[in-house]
Amino acid sequence: MAPSNWLVLNLRRIYCMVIPNRSILPNSNNDRLLFVYDTLLNSVTFDFLDYLYYAIFLSRQSKKKYVDILIVSRSNMELSREEHYIAAVGSDNIEWRLTNLIIPLSRLFPSVGRIYILDQEEGFEIVKRYQTVHPEGYSYVTPKTAAVRRDDPNLLYQPTLNVCDTAKKIVEAYFPLTDKRQIVTITLRTYDYIPSRNSEIACWVDFAKEIDPLKYRIVFVPDASMHGVASIDEIKNFEIFDSACWNVELRAALYQRAWMNMGVACGPLAISGFMERVHTIMIDRSLDYPLDYLEGIVSSGITPGKTPNFYSSSCRFYLGKDNKETILKLFNEYVD
């Protein structure tokens, strides 16, 4: 790795001429599926979780040991997104999410091997090295989306997500096991893009006031956005673990440590949906969504108010609004 004499230095040069290029040799990727995520065609959001889970499902079907990920980055992302989306998230938000969201999400799955971030031309050179590629037929000429039918009857839940020990230990330092209160997290969505999906913060605050602090430890997780930071003032009288906003693995570790995770149906909370033995309550506000947005969701196989088949059995969706009465009712049902 760091030669200290001329002999090893020359041996290393020979090694680097041959070994790093082994992936282009015939049959070198037989045990790997390449999952191509083209950012021109796919949203750079927590929806990536569903797409990656489906790629892992396909790798199992084709008896592949690893899933390698090729993220195709585009220099003209703003041309492919609506103006109001760019206005809501910021012009550099796509690049931010690649490194702070997509890659950390990938690392929650042990079967993920290599991760490439390349432009389209370089990316296609990677594609040519693999026999098994999802989406099938992806090429420079025919880029394809990584779509998944979320109502596929064969796509069922299997434990695939793993939280690293370091993240667990950090969260346990914040929330020691000696504290016998049951942790209840509240994940907020406060986002300028499709605000009808947002949390009713006042209702969640009223709910938190009703909960016995001797039995339950309420922890708020704000939205990981500029708007989420601004909303912290509304929940300042409660415990806030904003570290989970900016570190995906700490978010996952907190959800795993908790007894229950609650919130409106949103991308970040989906992490909890891939975990066993953790109660997850998602209040689905689909009836409030803009019609064209709702139609897009339904066309992908999502039924409003129905938990996807590939989420854990301890995760439940409920169609309605996140008002105080509904939140308390659902919480008390679990307590009972």
pLDDT value at residue 141: 82
Q: Which CATH architecture has domain 26-134?
A: 3-Layer(aba) Sandwich (3.40)
List of residues 6+ apart from 114 with CB closer than 8 A: 66, 68, 69
* Torsion angles phi and psi, residue 279, rounded to 5: -70, 135
- Give residue limits of the domains in the chain: 26-134, 165-335
The span from the CA of 313 to the CA of 255, in Å, is: 15
Under 8 Å CB-to-CB from 166, ≥6 apart: which residues? 249
Verdict on whether the full-model pTM lies above 0.95: no
Residue type, position 55, single letter: A
Return d(Cα 267, Cα 245) in angstroms, integer.
12
pLDDT digits (tens, 9 = 90+) for 281-335: 999 999 999 999 999 999 999 999 999 999 999 999 999 999 999 999 999 999 9
CA distance 43 to 21: 32
Q: What is the pLDDT of residue 90?
A: 58
Q: How far apart are CA 69 and CA 83, in angstroms?
A: 29
Structure tokens belonging to residue 94: 């796509």
Span 206-235, pLDDT tens digits: 999 999 999 999 999 999 988 889 999 999
Architecture of 165-335 per CATH? 3-Layer(aba) Sandwich (3.40)
pLDDT value at position 13? Answer: 81
Do the domains 26-134 and 165-335 sit in the same CATH topology, yes or no?
yes
- β-partners of residue 315 are 280
pLDDT at site 220: 98
* Residue 81 pLDDT: 58
What distance in Å separates the CA atoms of residue 152 and residue 309, rounded to the nearest whole number? 8
Residues in the chain with pLDDT < 50? none
CA distances from 128 to 24, 59, 125 (A): 9, 18, 5
Measured over the CA atoms of residue 319, residue 197, residue 211 and residue 316, the dihedral's sign is positive
Place of tokens 């330092």: 173
* Separation between Cα atoms, residue 50 and residue 310, nearest integer Å: 9
Radius of gyration of the chain (CA): 22
pLDDT at position 77 = 57
Residue 180 backbone phi and psi in degrees, to 5? -80, 0
Measured between alpha carbons, how far is 306 from 298 in angstroms, rounded to an integer?
Answer: 11
